[in-house]
Amino acid sequence: MTRSGADHIERLVLDTSAYSRLRVGHEAVMSMVATADSVLMPVIALGELDAAFELGSRAAENRMALSEFLAEPFVSVLDATRSVARRYGETFVKLRRAGTPIPTNDVWIAAMTLDCGGRLLTFDRDFERIEGLPRVILV
């Protein structure tokens, strides 16, 4: 993957939908990944991908591609930490009190993004409900 300096992004967090589009060569996703200093994959998204791989017909091929991507020097995995858990709790409560809950895994992904100071790349509009979450939502 060629990396360039245009439209610099320091920490780009990919959710499941963004990684899936990257795999099929989505131009906007590929461009954003190429401009990021680092690309971060939440461990929650990895779980969602593993589930999808198991349900699909090309599990081994998909796992190999993911392993190769994760081995890139500019890619890291975001783990759940105590700090992330605290952000999860705060975000969950804000959404619930506002009457705008979103899927639990999305709250975790948002918490990880907020905690690492990253910008989330997604195709999921549920993330619009989270105030203060740096994000790019593609359609």
DSSP for 11-38 reads EEEE-HHHHHHHHTT-HHHHHHHHHEEE
- The end-to-end CA distance of the chain, in Å, is 23
Q: What pLDDT, on the 0 to 100 scale, is given for residue 8?
A: 78
Q: Which helix (H) or strand (E) holds 111?
A: helix 104-116
Q: Which helix (H) or strand (E) holds 120?
A: strand 119-122
DSSP 31-69: HHHHHEEEEEEEHHHHHHHHHHHHHSS-HHHHHHHHHHH
Q: What pLDDT, on the 0 to 100 scale, is given for residue 138?
A: 96
Is residue 90, in this structure, part of any structural domain at all?
yes
Is residue 2, in this structure, part of any structural domain at all?
no
Output the CA–CA distances (angstroms, integers) from residue 54 to 24, 50, 63, 73, 105, in the order listed.
18, 6, 10, 27, 18
Is residue 94, in this structure, part of any structural domain at all?
yes
Q: What pLDDT, on the 0 to 100 scale, is given for residue 41?
A: 98
Is residue 129, in this structure, part of any structural domain at all?
yes
Global pTM exceeds 0.85:
yes
CATH number at residue 117: 3.40.50.1010
Residue numbers of the domain that contains 88: 9-137
Q: What pLDDT, on the 0 to 100 scale, is given for residue 7?
A: 62
Low-confidence ranges of the chain (pLDDT < 70): 1-7
Is residue 87, in this structure, part of any structural domain at all?
yes
Is residue 3, in this structure, part of any structural domain at all?
no
Q: Count CA atoms closer than 13 A to 28's CA, side-chain side.
A: 10
Indicate the number of domains in the chain.
1
> Is residue 119 classed as helix, strand or coil in its secondary structure?
strand
Output the CA–CA distances (angstroms, integers) from residue 103 to 23, 61, 112, 124, 126, in the order listed.
24, 28, 15, 11, 8
